[in-house]
Structure 1
């Protein structure tokens, strides 16, 4: 019980009073409790003190070390454990551990060496390929699986969506409907809706919505299916339906609010986005960092400078959200669009962290828009002083464009040489 509740102190006290009469099941329970609490040193100490161990004892330790990322120790224990104690659970722990930490060749080697595999084994290896963005490797494995469950299908569908292979996402979902008897769950549908949203595939999205309604899937639980529907309709240009779905939700969590606020902002409904943000605060739902990106984007696109300043200033003081680089980038973009470039510069200087390419890019974009060559030159000096590397070459492209607009052709040539050295060949004008 204490292990399940992750109460290591209480578990230690209770077990200490009866360790002398405890059987192997009790010892294993304590080890498992320590593992769940992340206290591997304590688990190892109890393991070493055990008068007798069984396969569960070894498997728990191997699984604990693998989950904690201590893969060398996990492998050493795996190699030491009696062969008779190695079961499919132990093998699965090793495969999962290697895969989770990006060691796909080692994960696959363990998988191939398994004397017996179950569905969990196949799904662990499949998930390893997926989370490491090797979707071709995942598909090869998926196609030869002796059986597939909803985890298998969802792993592939979600992996395709996360890799930006949205057409493959929809095609595999269709195959799931026609080639298997497995029913998708909420996690599956969130990924399918993401694909529809990014492809602006409204008709497919409507069909998915009808499927969700037909199977009475819950919209406002931890899987955020309602937020995914809002996002899909808004990205497909049907903000009216997105708002209707939002209003129909019994419980509106932060993900649903974020989807509404962000998509209203991106669709040009800046005032509605800010109003939704104010309504969110009135309901008592606490905004997070994503919420503020959405509302600051709305203020930027809508020219709502005063509202943007107030939102930014309230982040830490009222809502307990510390501004990050992305929030400063939104503010610089807002001030720059409004022509307040000196204020934007001052904000960058006040940042408690180093500005990144998005921040400088926003200011340079404003310099180009307002033909402020003086500010652009100061920004260029900042970029050089911070030793920004080739990944920031987009800033140099903007600088080149600004110099071209000013007729400073020698400076254009110099900026373009910087970009060419960084590997960019295509010019944006």
Structure 2
């Protein structure tokens, strides 16, 4: 009866009206309602009032505190909990809480102390390692698991993809195909497609697409599988397929629009990129920060300065409501610099609500070298030094700007900064900040 109520106030009122309720199930139902709504204060009051408690009662409170990050309290309750009431759910809640907050040593200690583990316990620990980027620790645990399911494999595959270890992502996916009876799901395939996109592994991407079609996976859902397909084909240079898949989606969310806009931008299909951006706005889907990076990048690489200015100015309008970030200013500085509008780029940097970082100043320096504007480079140099950056590329760019202008003394001075700060440029590495 109590489970039908969505707000805890009305649920508690009905509970209180039933005088003499003593069964632990009813008390646990209301307690669980508080926990589900995140009302830990009232949950604790309910817990203290209970005439009797069982393992469910204790587990609910331990899980509530662990989930909200109050790990000290959760551990105290676990220690106070009668041994007979402790169950695997309680232990798993604690491991999840520690891992979610990056406390992997504590999570692993608790995992090792568990009297009994189930598949959820192993998956919880592996996910903890993966979401914190500790993929080597995750792999060691994964390799000794007594059994694995699709969640186990997907935690590892997604973890490798999120850590940028794309080759290992695909290697493990192949291993899953050959050694496991577990069938990949939408989350697995999104990570596989991401790896294919970053490695421009078109053939493997096509195979993944065939697998998705064969198993009738839904493209336009919360997993963003359709967006991942669009992104993969675009990054592999197949924009025609990216467009085709995009138009086949019944529901196009912001991720799908961004995948196509960014894909067209990086492939140099600038007008198509801008056209899709306009279609997105007309569709009612609001652009976000990623959308504008794609459009501004397209404008920068094609010299569409006026279009870029309009796009940048429209970001914070009521229709878009996106506040420009450093990455957007960086795109604008790059665009203006490429067009030779260095004074405007300088002025834009001065107007930024945040301090310019080395990438933004590096973009301006690159334009100074391109247009042989050592006067601007001199002003930028002081800001670079003020950042106390050990980024060799910026100092090399400063030297190159002076050298291009025939100012050999200044060029040598800039090189000496590298030596003085013991900055080393890697052999064969590019000095360009672009």
**TM-score, normalised with respect to structure 2:** 0.92
Would you say 1:309 and 2:309 are equivalent positions? Answer: yes
Quote the residue 2:404 is aligned against: 405
Query: Which deviates more from structure 2 when the two are superposed, residues 183-192 or residues 363-372?
Result: 363-372
Quote the residue 2:282 is aligned against: 282
Contact 2:392 2:418 in 1 (8 A): no
Query: Which deviates more from structure 2 when the two are superposed, residues 11-20 or residues 307-316?
Result: 11-20
Matched ranges for 1:178-189 at <5 A: 178-189=178-189
Quote the residue 2:225 is aligned against: 225
Quote the residue 1:370 is aligned against: 371
Quote the residue 1:324 is aligned against: 325
Q: Aligned equivalents of 2:142 and 2:261: distance in 1?
A: 38
Q: CA deviation at 1:43?
A: 2.1
Quote the residue 2:42 is aligned against: 42
Q: CA deviation at 1:361?
A: 1.9
Matched ranges for 1:9-408 at <5 A: 9-15=9-15, 17-18=17-18, 21=21, 23-317=23-317, 318-385=319-386, 388-390=387-389, 394-406=393-405, 407=408, 408=410
Query: Which deviates more from structure 2 when the two are superposed, residues 25-34 or residues 66-75?
Result: 25-34
Paired residue secondary structure (1:21) = coil
Structure 2 gaps, min length 5: none
Q: Aligned equivalents of 1:13 and 1:403: distance in 2?
A: 78
Paired residue secondary structure (1:259) = helix
Query: Which deviates more from structure 2 when the two are superposed, residues 92-101 or residues 81-90?
Result: 92-101
Q: Aligned equivalents of 1:394 and 1:3: distance in 2?
A: 62
Q: Aligned equivalents of 2:20 and 2:401: distance in 1?
A: 79
Q: CA deviation at 1:46?
A: 2.2
Paired residue secondary structure (1:264) = helix
Q: CA deviation at 1:253?
A: 1.3
Contact 1:54 1:85 in 2 (8 A): yes
Q: CA deviation at 1:14?
A: 4.4
Cα 1:340–1:234 change in 2 (3 A) is same
Aligned residues: 426
Cα 1:80–1:384 change in 2 (3 A) is same
Q: Runs ≥4 in structure 1, deviation > 6 angstroms? A: 1-6
Per-residue CA deviations over 1:68-87 (Å, capped at 9, x if unaligned) read 11111111111111111110
Q: CA deviation at 1:135?
A: 1.6
Query: Which deviates more from structure 2 when the two are superposed, residues 43-52 or residues 135-144?
Result: 43-52
Q: CA deviation at 1:20?
A: 5.9
Cα 1:116–1:17 change in 2 (3 A) is same
Per-residue CA deviations over 1:247-273 (Å, capped at 9, x if unaligned) read 221221111110000010011111111
Q: Aligned equivalents of 1:186 and 1:265: distance in 2?
A: 27
Q: Aligned equivalents of 1:333 and 1:19: distance in 2?
A: 72
Paired residue secondary structure (1:280) = helix
Q: Aligned equivalents of 1:145 and 1:93: distance in 2?
A: 20
Paired residue secondary structure (1:359) = helix
Q: Aligned equivalents of 1:259 and 1:419: distance in 2?
A: 41
Contact 2:315 2:322 in 1 (8 A): yes
Contact 1:3 1:29 in 2 (8 A): yes
Q: Aligned equivalents of 1:404 and 1:192: distance in 2?
A: 46
Q: CA deviation at 1:47?
A: 1.8
Q: Aligned equivalents of 2:117 and 2:388: distance in 1?
A: 47
Paired residue secondary structure (1:319) = coil
Cα 1:235–1:418 change in 2 (3 A) is farther
Q: Aligned equivalents of 2:217 and 2:242: distance in 1?
A: 17
Contact 1:262 1:273 in 2 (8 A): yes
Structure 1 gaps, min length 5: none
Paired residue secondary structure (1:285) = coil
Q: Aligned equivalents of 1:120 and 1:395: distance in 2?
A: 49
Cα 1:308–1:402 change in 2 (3 A) is same
Contact 1:154 1:187 in 2 (8 A): yes
Q: Aligned equivalents of 2:27 and 2:353: distance in 1?
A: 50
Contact 2:390 2:421 in 1 (8 A): no
Per-residue CA deviations over 1:35-65 (Å, capped at 9, x if unaligned) read 2233323322222222222111111111111
Q: CA deviation at 1:186?
A: 0.6
Per-residue CA deviations over 1:180-238 (Å, capped at 9, x if unaligned) read 11110010001111111111111111111111111111111111111111111111111
Contact 1:397 1:428 in 2 (8 A): no
Q: Aligned equivalents of 1:127 and 1:378: distance in 2?
A: 48
Q: Aligned equivalents of 1:44 and 1:383: distance in 2?
A: 54
Contact 2:369 2:401 in 1 (8 A): yes
Contact 1:154 1:188 in 2 (8 A): yes
Contact 1:2 1:11 in 2 (8 A): yes
